Amino acid sequence: MDSIKHLIYTLLFAVMTVACITPPDNFPSVPEIVFEKLEFVNTSGADSLMVTIGFRDAEGDIGLNPTDINPPFNAINFIRDAGGSVITYSQRPPGAPNYNPLDWAINPTINNQVFRDTVWVEQNPDHNNIFVKFFIKRNGVFQEFRWEDPPFFTTFNGRFPRILPDNRTQAVEGSIRYNMLSFGWESIFRNDTLRIDVQIQDRQLNKSNVVSSPELTLNQITRR
């Protein structure tokens, strides 16, 4: 349990943008991103892994606010039985996963009412708009390090806020800095050679290209 406590993380976001008044002809409708920087910062609390990407988009429909929680941006979907009822942990069928915070929700809100039980759910990927995958080099080959698997049952996918303050259509370009805080970076990765892949998604659910960091170690990207 102590090891799990030390892996609790918080996601912080900082978005820096430059909006273009006249959309350039070569701006894409699907978001386009480039990798800019990855830094590791030791702090007195949780350490920070900060990735910066450049972006450009013709419509500017990038980013999600905290109020963007209605479909298709809802956080979870409920697994239901043949009769359409939600499935509780006490009534879970054979083959259902054991309890973990990704597959089960405690006292969720269903139809605007709190349902006081533990319910089988699936995470909705469209709730997020930035997706981060981690890879570790083993015997010369990169293998994905899946935070969703035991014992972590978590993710570093998340959200960054809307680039434009309203729903107007306007070409935008700039940089997104996405900060991931954890007490476990050094204890998990130590001197491993790492790579991360990043992708974003606009509000029309168009996914950008995937960009990759160079292969690196935490020591190489530590801010001095």
Q: Reduced to 3 states, what is the DSSP secondary structure of residue 185?
A: helix
What token pair was written down for 91?
């009534």
Q: Is the pLDDT of residue 17 over 50?
A: no
Q: Is the pLDDT of residue 44 over 90?
A: no
Return the percentage of the chain with pLDDT > 70, whole number: 89
Domains of the chain: 2-59+128-221 (2.60.40), 76-123 (no CATH)
What pLDDT score was predicted for residue 209? 99
Q: Reduced to 3 states, what is the DSSP secondary structure of residue 92?
A: coil
What pLDDT score was predicted for residue 23? 52
What token pair was written down for 154?
């978590």
Average pLDDT, the chain: 89
Indicate the pLDDT class of residue 76, thresholds 50, 70 and 90: very high
What token pair was written down for 160?
């960054």
Report pLDDT digits (tens) over 108-140: 999 999 999 999 999 999 999 999 999 999 999
What pLDDT score was predicted for residue 130? 97
Residue with more model confidence, 173 or 132: 132
